[in-house]
Structure 1
């Protein structure tokens, strides 16, 4: 049952990302491209949040691991935001700034999603994985 739910969530997320890519391909002005980049980031952020909550659920009642996860995520968000501020600094004040910034947010969020997916796919007994496998 968990595999079916995970597969359904992944398919829904893939459709959201495909929609965002199609949106960007069809965009005819900067405002539309900015909106497409924002939609892509929002879809990725929603998936990241879903995975974060799945990881928290798997950590159960282990307050130390849950605190470590929270701390890691807060630090990662601070890094992501600072990195995207820097990345988009070449177009600060320009009409493309929102698009460049949101594309950066999306790219880094996609990387984090892959990392969370790896945590959730760990095999039983993998000592390098902080997230218990699903039972």
Structure 2
């Protein structure tokens, strides 16, 4: 029985960094919080990029009739990225240079990116005939 407890203890110690990386609220120190927040922001950005590519694919499948929508999406996304970066720089300005600054900025980036992800998911689910849908029907 002691051997099993010892083995489970070793497993728990080995998995602690993984658990810490996925749960920013329980990070043991500021460095871990900063790393965790940065990883969360990266995951959100990766998901956003996948959805963006799906939307671009739908627009391309729509043919020449959707060329203006394609151009508009590129412009909108570039403007949104500039907004996101500027907004999060503003949000983090009161903690700039401090140890918590990276966590504040990364959390802001994640929140705004998740909002954009929800927009993209909504675009991808809109029904045929919805005139407010910026994508061609499937």
- TM-score interval, normalised by the smaller of the two chains: 0.7 to 0.9
Q: Which residues of 2 match residues 47-58 of structure 1 at below 5 A?
A: 47-58=47-58
Which of 112, 115, 125 is the matching residue for 1:111? 115
SS of equivalent residue, structure 2 residue 137: coil
Moved over 3 A (4+): 19-22
> How far apart, CA to CA, are the structure 2 residues paired with 1:126 and 1:38?
37
1:133 paired residue among 130, 134, 137: 137
1:13-69 residue CA offsets vs partner (Å, 9 max, x unmatched) = xxxxxx788431331010100000001010000000000000000001332211100
8 A Cα contact 1:51 1:116, kept in partner: yes
TM-superposition CA deviations, 1:76-115 (whole Å, max 9, x none): 0011011000100110110111110000000000000000
Counterpart-to-counterpart distance in 2, 1:112 and 1:103: 14
Superposition RMSD in Å: 1.6
Q: What does 1:37-116 align with in structure 2 at a 5 Å threshold?
A: 37-60=37-60, 61=63, 62-116=66-120
Q: How many residues align?
A: 116
Q: Structure 1: give runs of 5+ residues left out of the alignment.
A: 1-18
